[in-house]
Amino acid sequence: MLKSKKEQEGWEVFINKLKTALPVPSHTWVDALAPAVPIFENTEEIFLIKSNQQFGIDYLQKKHLKQIEDSFFEATNLKRPVRFCYDGTLKTKKKQPKQTEEQKQHEQTAIKMENLAQMHSFCGLNLKYTFENFVVGKNSEFAYKIAQMISEKPGQAKFNPLFISGSVGIGKTHLMQAIGHKILRNFPNLKVRYTKAEEFGNKLIETLNTCKNPADLNERMRKFRDMHRNVDVLLIDDIQWIDGKKRTEEEIFNTFDALYHAGKQIVFASDRPLSAFELIPDRLRSRFEWGIEANIKVPDLETRIEIVKNYARMSDFPVSNEVALLLAKEFDNNIRELEGAYNKASALASIDGVELDIENTKEYLKLSERKKKYNVKDILNTCSKYFNVELNDILSSARAKEVVNARKYAIYFARELAELSYPELAREFKKNHTTIMYQHDKLKSEIKTNRAMQIITDELCELLKK
């Protein structure tokens, strides 16, 4: 406790310095701590502040502990760690210092921001993925508009469910989570939940396999279902994962029906279009088709340049137009890869204390060492000879087994070695780019576990290197 006039004066100086040191609106939490009981005497040589405002002390200790300790040192010339302690027995002072309208507004903003951050985290949302930092291009304009409409009026029948499709690392998760964030801002009382299909399925199987007692199983299944059905907005990412997993498909079907008929909003994201789902039951497929499918395509060069500039604004590490153009040209298939390239280059430049230019960007990313692109014609000819099929058949719609094999390996190598984008592959193989994407991703996944496919891939690689 404060024992002397000097200590009391030190406390008041500390409070005033702290208000000055903390940014707006955080400084308003200093008044919210009242009544605070400062204690100088402590065997651990700390300065302890007791308060009955749990939320306030958690906020200050988590966000601004360094400023608090610096302010205490300036006020008292004592180098001690500052710690907060909750004490529910303290009584709130009846007379609080009168706040100005600006202070009230700042305090309300701080509370709202903290509540939103906690709420969004609880819902499984990442604050990084909002509409404000989503770069809209021709590739995503339609999906973006639909997402905005849903955010304004969730549960509309014509947009329920929304099925967002597109290749890997192209912005589906960003747009899906942006919907969740904006709905929470527009309708704070609504319950939003984001999950990945694999997480949904794994939790389901874990619940079914670990409960031996029927009563316990029923209770745990009730909790599992409440988690996903007792919501107003359900966002399920990577829904393609459930294709062929019957028990998970059944649970998704029943969850869908429960939410849809209650007028709740459902959003799915998938790295393949609905037409490419092979094993999904017709009754579930039909429900996915009740709403609207919005496809996000590979962004064009202009959009990729804007994406790089957006990364630069967000990270406060600017890049020139020339560097943005270089990155956009070199990393043209995957937004996630483009972001990773910018992050790596900007981090290394920051460490070296230099600006990013063309030369050091190439050096940081080792662009000169990137493998030379292969010729698509050479890939087609090699696959044609290896599988003993006609080149024209590979580019046709023929369904003979050897032709299909030659075609899918040609697509795979044209993507991996020639580094063609999905739209470019679609033009080369005369197919829809989403179909191309599905065939490539499927083979890439199968190669990892299928020994026979690994052998074929290795043999074709050797032939292509010659």
Higher pLDDT, 221 or 14: 221
Assign residue 66 the CATH number of its domain.
Answer: 3.30.300.180
Instruction: Please indicate, yes or no, whether residues 336 and 414 belong to a single structural domain of this protein.
Output: no
Percent of the chain beyond pLDDT 70?
83
Question: Residue 119's pLDDT is what?
Answer: 46
Question: Residue 127's pLDDT is what?
Answer: 79
The whole-number average pLDDT for the span 402-406 is: 91
Question: Residue 114's pLDDT is what?
Answer: 47
Assign residue 237 the CATH number of its domain.
Answer: 3.40.50.300
Confidence at 36, pLDDT banded by 50, 70, 90: low
> Dihedral, CA atoms, 199, 202, 207, 211, nearest 10 degrees?
-150
Residue 382's CB: how many other CB atoms inside 10 A? Answer: 20
Q: Cβ(38)–Cβ(22) under 8 Å?
A: no
Assign residue 328 the CATH number of its domain.
Answer: 1.10.8.60
Which residues lie closer than 8 Å to 330 by C-beta, 6 or more apart? 341, 365, 367, 370
Question: Residue 162's pLDDT is what?
Answer: 95
Residue 353: inside a domain? yes
Tell me the per-residue pLDDT of 272-301, one tens digit each, with 9 for 90 and over: 888 878 788 999 999 999 999 999 988 888
Instruction: Please indicate, yes or no, whether residues 290 and 144 belong to a single structural domain of this protein.
Output: yes
Task: Judge whether residue 65 has pLDDT over 50.
Answer: yes
Residue 99: inside a domain? no
Domain membership of residue 346 as a residue range: 301-369
Whether the pTM exceeds 0.85: the reply is no
Is residue 222 within a helix (H) or strand (E), and if so which, with residue range? helix 214-229
Higher pLDDT, 7 or 345: 345
Instruction: Please indicate, yes or no, whether residues 239 and 171 belong to a single structural domain of this protein.
Output: yes
Domain count, the chain: 4
Assign residue 426 the CATH number of its domain.
Answer: 1.10.1750.10
The whole-number average pLDDT for the span 102-112 is: 57
Q: Cβ(87)–Cβ(37) under 8 Å?
A: yes
Three-state secondary structure call for residue 234 = strand
Instruction: Please indicate, yes or no, whether residues 231 and 194 belong to a single structural domain of this protein.
Output: yes
State the Cα–Cα distance between residues 80 and 417, nearest whole angstrom.
Answer: 60
Task: Judge whether residue 215 has pLDDT over 60.
Answer: yes
Instruction: Please indicate, yes or no, whether residues 389 and 418 belong to a single structural domain of this protein.
Output: yes
Instruction: Please indicate, yes or no, whether residues 172 and 254 belong to a single structural domain of this protein.
Output: yes
Question: Residue 370's pLDDT is what?
Answer: 58
Percent of the chain beyond pLDDT 90?
32
Question: Residue 59's pLDDT is what?
Answer: 72
Confidence at 382, pLDDT banded by 50, 70, 90: very high
- Helix then strand count (H, E) for the chain reads 21, 8
Three-state secondary structure call for residue 265 = strand
Task: Among 2-16, 125-139, 399-413, 414-428, name the one with the lowest average pLDDT.
Answer: 2-16
Final residue belonging to a domain, choices 272, 295, 318: 295
Concatenate the DSSP letters of all residues of 146-190 into one string.
HHHHHHHSTT-GGGSSEEEE--TTSSHHHHHHHHHHHHHHH-TTS
State the Cα–Cα distance between residues 437 and 452, nearest whole angstrom.
Answer: 22
Residue 80: inside a domain? yes
Instruction: Please indicate, yes or no, whether residues 45 and 167 belong to a single structural domain of this protein.
Output: no
Buried-state track 182-195, b at ≥16 Cβ within 10 A, e below 16: bbbeebeebbbbbb
Final residue belonging to a domain, choices 329, 347, 369: 369
Task: Judge whether residue 371 has pLDDT over 70.
Answer: no
Question: Residue 249's pLDDT is what?
Answer: 94
Confidence at 35, pLDDT banded by 50, 70, 90: low
Residue 124: inside a domain? no
Q: Cβ(82)–Cβ(116) under 8 Å?
A: no
Question: Residue 32's pLDDT is what?
Answer: 56
Confidence at 107, pLDDT banded by 50, 70, 90: low
Kindly give the pairing relationship between strand 233-237 and strand 192-196. parallel
Task: Among 69-83, 337-351, 384-398, name the one with the lowest average pLDDT.
Answer: 69-83
Instruction: Please indicate, yes or no, whether residues 212 and 290 belong to a single structural domain of this protein.
Output: yes
Q: What is the DSSP letter of 320?
A: -
For CA atoms 328, 329, 331, 332, give the dihedral sign.
Answer: positive
Question: Residue 243's pLDDT is what?
Answer: 87
Helix axes 214-229, 197-210, angle to 10 degrees: 160
Mean predicted lDDT score pLDDT of the chain: 82
In angstroms, what CA-CA distances link 63 with 6, 59, 114? 29, 6, 11
For CA atoms 178, 181, 184, 185, give the dihedral sign.
Answer: negative
Task: Among 79-93, 114-128, 263-277, 441-455, name the one with the lowest average pLDDT.
Answer: 114-128
Task: Judge whether residue 201 has pLDDT over 60.
Answer: yes
Question: Residue 118's pLDDT is what?
Answer: 45
Question: Residue 94's pLDDT is what?
Answer: 43
Instruction: Please indicate, yes or no, whether residues 175 and 251 belong to a single structural domain of this protein.
Output: yes
Task: Judge whether residue 247 has pLDDT over 70.
Answer: yes
Three-state secondary structure call for residue 83 = strand
Residue 111: inside a domain? no
- Tokens 């009382």 correspond to 189
Question: Residue 55's pLDDT is what?
Answer: 65
Question: Residue 189's pLDDT is what?
Answer: 84
Instruction: Please indicate, yes or no, whether residues 24 and 61 belong to a single structural domain of this protein.
Output: yes
Q: Cβ(3)–Cβ(30) under 8 Å?
A: no
Kindly give the pairing relationship between strand 47-51 and strand 36-39. antiparallel
Buried-state track 77-112, b at ≥16 Cβ within 10 A, e below 16: eeebebbbeeeeeeeeeeeeeeeeeebeebbeebbe
Residue 112: inside a domain? no
Confidence at 439, pLDDT banded by 50, 70, 90: confident
Instruction: Please indicate, yes or no, whether residues 140 and 271 belong to a single structural domain of this protein.
Output: yes
Confidence at 45, pLDDT banded by 50, 70, 90: low
Residue 241: inside a domain? yes
Task: Judge whether residue 179 has pLDDT over 90.
Answer: yes
Final residue belonging to a domain, choices 314, 348, 369: 369
The whole-number average pLDDT for the span 238-242 is: 91
Residue 213: inside a domain? yes
Phi first, then psi, for residue 36 (nearest 5°) are -110, 140
Task: Judge whether residue 271 has pLDDT over 80.
Answer: yes
Higher pLDDT, 111 or 58: 58
Tell me the per-residue pLDDT of 113-143, one tens digit each, with 9 for 90 and over: 444 444 444 567 887 888 998 999 998 999 9
Instruction: Please indicate, yes or no, whether residues 291 and 328 belong to a single structural domain of this protein.
Output: no
Question: Residue 91's pLDDT is what?
Answer: 59
Q: Cβ(416)–Cβ(409) under 8 Å?
A: no
Q: How big is the chain by its Cα radius of gyration, in Å?
A: 29
Among 341, 334, 310, smallest CA distance to 130 is for 310
25-39, 46-60, 189-203, 330-344: which is most confident: 189-203
